[in-house]
Amino acid sequence: MQSIKKAICFLAILFSINTLYAQKKVSISIENSFPTASTKSFYSAGDSLIQYVGRIQNTNPSLPRFWMPGVYIKAKFEGKTFSFFLNDEVIYGNVHNYLEIIIDNKSFRLQTKYANNEFILNGLKNGVHAITICKDTESGNGYLEFAGIVCKKLLTLPSKPKLKMEFIGNSITCGFGADASKIACGKGEWYDQHNAYMSYGPLTARALNAQWLISAVSGIGMIHSCCNMKILMPQVFDKINMAGDSIAWNFNEYIPDIVTICLGQNDGIQDSTAFCTAYVDFVKTVRSKYADVKIILLTSPMADAKLRAVLKNYLASIVDYFHKNGDTKLYDYVYQKSYNGGCLAHPDLKEQKEISDLLLAYIKENIRSNHPE
C-alpha cells in the first residue's frame, strides 16, 4: 500500500511539473497583418460572442474604436490556435499602444508593432480557453481598433458582472509610471511604463467581480491641469476621446453603481472657493448622468502631507454640502501616506495594489452591501 501511495504522489508531482512546463511554453507573436475575405475561421469584431467594456466608438461595428485606458475585450474559444487583429492609429507616426493580454489567467504585456497587428497565441493546449485584451495606455496614445478573431470556435461567455464601477482621475488612475518591468524609469517614452490593467481601479473592480471603466487623462485637473494642457476634467468627461476632447459619449451605454473621483494632484493647492465650487458642479454633472450612483471622493495617493491635508478638508466640505442638501450617496476617503515608488514619483505596481486594497476595504465596509452580486 505504501508503494502505491508513493507512486501516486510521484505521478501527481510529474503531472504538476508537466503542466507548469506547458504553461511556460505559451507565447504571443505579432505579425503585420489584417483580415481579408479569404481569412479562414474568422469571427468579425461585431460578433455577439465577443464582449466589450469601455468608452467605444461603434460607428463601424466591425471595427470598434477606442482611446481610453482600461477598455477591455473578452472572448472564450475552443481549440489550440487563436489570433486576433488590432489596428493602431500610430499617432504622430511613431507612438504604439501597450496591451495587457490575459490568456487562461496568464498575463502578457505587449506593445503593438504595426498599424495592422495580428497577435498570434502559440503553444496553447487543445481545449477551452478564455482571453481578455485590455488597453494599457491612454487616449493620448491614440486609438485602437479591434478587427476580429481567428479560431476554431468561439464560445458563449458568462454574463457580464452586474456590479459596474467607474474610476475618474488623472495619471494615477491611468496606471502611469507603474510598470518598469520591461523599460526602466527614465528610459524610453513617457508611456512605456503605463499599465492600466494593474492600476487601482481595475484591481478593485476585479476583486469585487465588477465591470470597470476608466475615465482619466494624465495631467488633468479639476480647475488646473499640468504640463500646459488645455483641457480640464469637467470639460472632457462626456467624451470618448478625452485627451482629444472629441466624440460625444452616450452615458446610457454604461451606468455604474459606484464611481470614484481622484483629482487634485495636478490642481495643487488652489483657492478653496474656486476649487470646491468647480468640484461641486462636477459632482452634480456626474449625478445628472447616473442618478443612483454612489460617489467616493478620493484624496490623491501621490499628495504630500500639505496637499493631502488641504484635499482632506476640501473633500469633507464638499461631502457635507451634498449631505445637507439631501444627497447622502456621497463619500470621501483619505489616503494617509504618499505613494511615489514608480516613475516620476507615481505609484508603482505594488503601491497601486495597496491603494486598491485600502479602497476595497472602504467599499466593503461602507458601500458594497447595498449593491447586487
User: Are the beta carbons of 355 and 200 closer than 8 angstroms?
Assistant: yes
Which residues are registered as beta bridge partners of 129?
Answer: 77
Q: Work out the number of other CB atoms within 10 angstroms of the CB of residue 94.
A: 7
Q: Give the cell for residue 183.
A: 523599460
The values of phi and psi at residue 103, to 5°, are: -120, 115
Q: Please work out, in degrees rounded to the nearest 5, the angle formed at the alpha carbon of residue 366 by the alpha carbons of 363 and 372.
A: 70
Q: Give the cell for residue 347.
A: 505609484
Class of domain 27-155: mainly beta
The β-bridge relationship of strands 258-262 and 164-169 is parallel
CATH classification code of 164-370: 3.40.50.1110
Cα–Cα distances (Å) from 248 to 6, 144, 203, 244, in that order, read: 65, 17, 27, 11
CA proximity to 242, closest of 227, 264, 221, 211:
221
pLDDT in tens, the chain (373 residues): 455 445 444 444 444 444 443 445 899 999 999 998 778 899 999 999 999 999 999 999 999 999 999 999 999 999 999 999 999 999 999 999 999 999 999 999 999 999 999 999 999 999 999 999 999 999 999 999 999 999 999 999 999 999 999 999 999 999 999 999 999 999 999 999 999 999 999 999 999 999 999 999 999 999 999 999 999 999 999 999 999 999 999 999 999 999 999 999 999 999 999 999 999 999 999 999 999 999 999 999 999 999 999 999 999 999 999 999 999 999 999 999 999 999 999 999 999 999 999 999 999 999 865 444 4
**In the chain, domain spans:** 27-155, 164-370
